[in-house]
Amino acid sequence: MRPCGELNQCACRPANIPPVVHTFESENQAYAVLLDRNDPEEDGVIFRIEEEEEEAFLVGIEDDAEWERVTAIYEQIAKEQNEGK
């Protein structure tokens, strides 16, 4: 996993291919993982989901401790899903 800047300018996927999205929670905060639909085995991008009024938006994770925590959680989720295949 790697952090990414602006969602619309993300180099990890072509603009015309919608990403596959996985969500999970940690410490009462929701996160989204975007994966390339054409290559789901490639590294994804993790964003924090923030809500304001009735809108939700994706925010890059800049805090190193938060990044380490959520990548470890997602890696465990992915490992468990792969073991089930």
Question: Measured over all CA atoms, what is the biggest interatomic distance in the chain, rounded to whole angstroms?
Answer: 39
The confidence score (pLDDT) of residue 17 equals 58
73 burial type by CB count under 10 A (0-12 exposed, 13-18 middle, 19+ buried): middle
More confident residue, 82 or 30: 30
Q: And the tokens for 20? A: 């596959």
Domain ranges for the chain: 7-80
The pLDDT of 65-84, averaged and rounded, is 90
Q: Are 46 and 35 in contact (CB under 8 A)?
A: no
The confidence score (pLDDT) of residue 83 equals 83
The confidence score (pLDDT) of residue 8 equals 43
Full DSSP string of the chain: -B--S-GGG-TTS-TTSPPEEEEEEETTEEEEEEE-TT-TTS--EEEEEEEETTEEEEE----HHHHHHHHHHHHHHHHHHHHT-
The confidence score (pLDDT) of residue 18 equals 60
